[in-house]
């Protein structure tokens, strides 16, 4: 089975070179920095190359409270990222709005972009982020890269 083997190889390359795009919006971004620093060291999993340009990134880590004002910027940055791309919603604010049941806060990142992974925590510990990254790597290994020409993630959120 040459095809699956090649697919597995491509996925293996991909999963150990996920370049994150740190979308640090609130206190979760501090934990994201902690995960990048020497004690937790995200480079053990091949994701130390934080790219501050969406065009060079594979995985947007949305860390923090998304206000409505920021939501359109998050959406635009997601749209600028090239395929293949993944999104991690880090912390309860990014997942659901968290404790901010408020007029100014978007109630969950999945209202504007498709989310691959939700991480609980307020804020999320670096260990949890690393665990999430490992889960995402398992997801990446499952992707049918060569068997489907165009991937369209199932997404029913609102276009902003």
Partner 1 sequence: MKMTAEDFVQKIKTAFPDIVEDISEFRGEFSCLISDAMRIHDVAQYVCNDLGFDLLKDMTSVDETEAQGRYYVVYELFSFTHRVQIRLKTYVPKDAPKLDSVTDLWNSANWQEREIFDMMGIQFRNHPNLQRILMWNDFPYHPLRKDFPVAGKETDSELGIHTEAAPWEGGPFVTKPGVLGTNEREPRSKEN
Q: Is 97 in the site for partner 1 (CB under 8 A)?
A: yes
Q: Is 153 left (phi over 0), alpha (psi -120 to 50) or beta?
A: beta
57 DSSP assignment: -
Backbone φ and ψ for 57, nearest 5 degrees, come out as -115, 155
**Cα 94 to Cα 38: distance, rounded to the nearest angstrom:** 25
Question: Whose Cβ is closer to partner 1: residue 12's or residue 68's?
Answer: 68
Residues between 100 and 119 that touch partner 1 (CB under 8 A): 100-105, 107
Q: Is 160 in the site for partner 1 (CB under 8 A)?
A: yes
Applying CB under 8 A, which part among 36-44, 66-74, 115-123, 138-146 lies near partner 1?
66-74
Q: Which residues contact partner 1 by CB under 8 A?
A: 68-69, 71-72, 97, 100-105, 107, 158, 160
């Amino acid at each position: 089975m040459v095809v699956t083997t090649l697919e597995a190889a491509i996925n293996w390359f991909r999963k150990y070179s996920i370049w994150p795009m740190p979308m640090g919006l609130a206190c979760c971004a501090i934990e994201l920095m902690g995960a990048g620093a020497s004690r937790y060291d995200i480079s053990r999993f091949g994701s130390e190359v934080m790219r501050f340009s969406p065009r060079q990134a594979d995985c947007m880590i949305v860390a923090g409270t998304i206000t409505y004002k920021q939501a359109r910027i998050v959406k635009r940055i997601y749209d600028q990222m090239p395929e293949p791309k993944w999104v991690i919603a880090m912390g309860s604010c990014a997942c659901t709005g968290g404790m901010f049941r408020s007029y100014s806060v978007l109630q969950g990142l999945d209202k504007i972009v498709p989310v691959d992974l939700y991480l609980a925590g307020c804020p999320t510990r670096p260990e949890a982020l690393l665990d999430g990254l490992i889960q995402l790597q398992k997801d990446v290994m499952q992707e049918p890269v060569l068997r489907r020409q165009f991937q369209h993630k199932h997404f029913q959120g609102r276009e902003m």
